[in-house]
Structure 1
């Protein structure tokens, strides 16, 4: 018979995975679904499959780090494991209440660190490495996308032309004995290739989400030995899939999502860079935030794109126009203006990000793991579990 406390732990793990699936599916497949390239049902199925792939491969490293390297496995009693998962669930509740994407990875690490400090078993070298990557990864994300926005984005925009033509992408030709797919009446081969690219990158994002987030749902239970790492992966991805097939339908429709507000090409650049960084960190066993990296990619892409109106020296000096979503879509054609030849009028439009909102998001990114660590320390110091 399963212990009641373990049932509580499994329930909280499913709750965490369920919410991760709901939010991550919207981030990964928002551009594809919004453009009519993939149905919501198809997005949920792809999200589940590729999240499992990511969790089964790179995700194991993150589970092992969070389940036994930040603090020894012996510290993960069943009660302590449930408490850590509770803090992660609480972070999701705060995130949903205030509409701010709190990092479950950072919150989970904060809770485990609080346990380690209270028990005097924190592996400071591992913790220092994790925190160092938390600082370095967003900076890398910003500068990679800044370079892409300044030097590469206009040429990608002119080459790929990701705008959808009216009508179906593919039709089925049934005149022959064997039905064969054909390009739609308005579909060009380049558009078909762009469509395939959009879907592939969405799947890559799903892989990255599985690699980084499965540990948030089950690492304490795996560290405790209550579930094996294989069963933990299946439990986490099952919960992520449940969220993908249910509440993700709402997030896929949300126009206010940070990524789906962007043009498709900009969203794909953000997804590719942020997913690559998080996948690399997952293989290194570093739990990191996909939301933080993605947001810094957005800011970097907008800054780099906006600086095309000035020389490099002026850009470093701060003489840059305001960030705008429209600044990411001005090039049409066949002709890409040379560096410094675009005008601020070309870049005018809706702000890419509101400074007040951005400040609020960053504040909660710092607050939730800090509160998690502090509350965890108080709990485990007062009541050793």
Structure 2
């Protein structure tokens, strides 16, 4: 019986990891595929490699946090409870897909495990408080960092990373020697190379950050139960993520998969860089982080920073009125042209910050990102508290 349950648990964990691969490959490599920098197959391969590197290095910190430190008695993780927790995570992914909003697997995993711990009276309140604190602080950091970038550096970055497509492939193979060697195509220019390398590197960074945080969502309950060791669990989870990247992620790569990659290329790179860096930092601390929540607030901060360029710091502090940015200035910003100094744009048409991001979509994402983990927490608690099967 234990053998059958173990097989079921591994299959459910792989299903969760498979969905993680499908849902995160698009946001990571959508900009690179959309810019024709790499193919979908290459994107899937890079996703698998860098996700595994992130999982194998920093990811085990988060697995340990969720699988043992969040509960004062790891014995609460039996095979039955582990399978049930993974079930709640899988349901959360389904709910997010049905509502068109990617649910945070990290927040949902913490919620489901916290519900189990509350039902068994073994929740470590200090660890839970640390996680909740970082969940509040990290989106605020993402907002302000992105706001500063949008206000002071966006136009310059836009000129640096904009991809200019030349005729022919970016790389060609030189077969004149004994060993074929890759080299730049003769029509490839320096700006095209820098832009392509940048957008692909950011995708790899996002894949790495996903591995550091998301591997725990698939394998932490099984590792916490003691039935599966850390290293085999990470390997199995990494394989499942790679399969998801090569299969169901192809559609998300076509449509860019998320609101992040529907941004202009430079904005997508800024949001991805800020969000991924924060997720990696939190993973090093063992904190499971929600990339989507951080990225959403980064989008808001970036849009707000770009929309408030006409407001000087003294004017903002004094509360005096100052003209918001004009459409012409925003168009120049997008084109990578030099903008007038801060606070000196001409006032013609006045767009609101909401014209740079969709407030309704933002509200829906934030709402669902909190509702789904809350449902998982309550559902998990009620299940483990009142269903005799689990014996808590």
Provide the TM-score with structure 1 as the length reference: 0.92
Structure 2 counterparts to residues 101-116 of structure 1, below 5 A:
101-116=102-117
1:50 aligned residue: 50
Q: Structure 1: how far apart are the matches of 2:364 and 2:326?
A: 18
1:353 aligned residue: 357
Question: Conserved in 1, the CA contact under 8 Å of 2:209 and 2:276?
Answer: yes
Question: Conserved in 1, the CA contact under 8 Å of 2:77 and 2:224?
Answer: yes
2:93 aligned residue: 92
Question: Which segments of 5 or more consecutive residues in structure 1 lack a partner in the other structure?
Answer: none
Give the alignment partner of residue 345 of structure 2, picking from 322, 342, 345.
342
Aligned with 1:3: secondary structure?
Answer: helix
1:68 aligned residue: 68
Greater shift, 279-288 or 3-12, is seen at: 3-12
Question: Conserved in 2, the CA contact under 8 Å of 1:14 and 1:239?
Answer: yes
Question: Conserved in 1, the CA contact under 8 Å of 2:162 and 2:265?
Answer: no
1:40 aligned residue: 40
Question: Which segments of 5 or more consecutive residues in structure 2 lack a partner in the other structure?
Answer: none
CA distance 1:332–1:109, change in 2 (3 Å) = same
CA distance 1:329–1:86, change in 2 (3 Å) = farther
Q: Structure 2: how far apart are the matches of 1:323 and 1:58?
A: 44
Aligned with 2:269: secondary structure?
Answer: helix
Which whole-Å deviations, capped at 9, do the CAs of 1:35-90 have from their partners, x for residues lacking one? 01111000000100000000000000000000011112111011111111011001
CA distance 1:57–1:98, change in 2 (3 Å) = same
CA distance 1:221–1:348, change in 2 (3 Å) = same
Q: Structure 1: how far apart are the matches of 2:31 and 2:196?
A: 11
Q: Structure 1: how far apart are the matches of 2:97 and 2:222?
A: 24
Which whole-Å deviations, capped at 9, do the CAs of 1:301-330 have from their partners, x for residues lacking one? 111111113223555659675899x94872
Query: For this pair of structures, how many residues does the alignment match?
Result: 384
Q: Structure 2: how far apart are the matches of 1:281 and 1:225?
A: 25
Greater shift, 166-175 or 15-24, is seen at: 166-175
1:13 matched to 2:13? The reply is yes
User: C-alpha displacement at 1:168, in angstroms?
Assistant: 2.4
Question: Conserved in 2, the CA contact under 8 Å of 1:266 and 1:328?
Answer: no
Greater shift, 32-41 or 186-195, is seen at: 186-195
1:363 matched to 2:364? The reply is no
1:169 aligned residue: 170
Question: Conserved in 2, the CA contact under 8 Å of 1:306 and 1:347?
Answer: no
1:202 matched to 2:203? The reply is yes
Provide the TM-score with structure 2 as the length reference: 0.90
Q: Structure 1: how far apart are the matches of 2:326 and 2:5?
A: 50
Q: Structure 2: how far apart are the matches of 1:18 and 1:328?
A: 41
Question: Conserved in 2, the CA contact under 8 Å of 1:21 and 1:242?
Answer: yes
Aligned with 1:36: secondary structure?
Answer: coil
1:236 aligned residue: 237
CA distance 1:175–1:57, change in 2 (3 Å) = closer
Q: Structure 2: how far apart are the matches of 1:328 and 1:232?
A: 49
1:128 matched to 2:129? The reply is yes
User: C-alpha displacement at 1:201, in angstroms?
Assistant: 1.5
